[in-house]
Amino acid sequence: MIADLQCVVLDCTHPAELAAFYQTLLGGSVNQPDQRWALSDGWATLHTPSGPVLAFQRVTDHQPPVWPDPGRPQQFHLDFGVTDLDRAHERVLTLGATVLDDGADGRGWRIYADPEGHPFCLVRH
């Protein structure tokens, strides 16, 4: 092993708002003091209960991905396990997520975009 993962950083236009979106989705602590990062108006963090840290970095001209358009590809996405897919679906929509693929074919996951356009999946455990 060469390194361990410290966090995943998402470019966005509104770091604090996107951190709050993911905090409601995953729980955890926004902008918890951590010697690894300095907090500022252009940077926010979320320490999740399961361990990983998400960070949100302001990029003035952020261009969100357009799923599934290869002209503006997703580059990465996050998968979140849920017990009740229908209930989780309703909750993320009330938080400001949008549906990219509703999984109408009966598979066990659905694809969404967060309020800044980053794709994520809710996957039934």
116 Cβ contact partners less than 8 Å away, ≥ 6 residues apart: 10, 12, 13, 14, 18, 62, 64
Instruction: Identify whether 63 is part of a domain.
Output: no
Cis peptide before 49 (omega within 30 of 0): no
- Tell me the pairing of strands 119-124 and 78-82: parallel
> What is the distance between the alpha carbons of residues 26 and 37, in angstroms, rounded to a whole number?
21
Average pLDDT over residues 45-60: 94
Instruction: Identify whether 67 is part of a domain.
Output: no
Instruction: Identify whether 99 is part of a domain.
Output: yes
Q: What range does the domain containing 50 cover?
A: 7-58
Residue 61 banded pLDDT, cuts 50, 70, 90:
very high
> What is the distance between the alpha carbons of residues 123 and 108, in angstroms, rounded to a whole number?
6
Q: For 68-93, how does the pLDDT look when each residue is reduced to its tens digit (9 = 90+)?
A: 899 998 888 898 999 999 999 999 99
Instruction: Identify whether 71 is part of a domain.
Output: no
Q: Are residues 48 and 82 in the same domain?
A: no
Instruction: Identify whether 24 is part of a domain.
Output: yes
Number of independent structural domains in the chain: 2
Q: Give the per-residue pLDDT at 44.
A: 96
CB of 71 within 8 A of CB of 46?
no
Threshold 0.85, pTM exceeds: yes
Q: Considering the chain, what is the average pLDDT of its residues?
A: 92
- CATH number for 46: 3.30.720
Query: Could you tell me where the beta strands, DSSP code E, fall in 19-118?
Result: 29-30, 43-47, 53-58, 78-82, 98-101, 109-113
Instruction: Identify whether 45 is part of a domain.
Output: yes
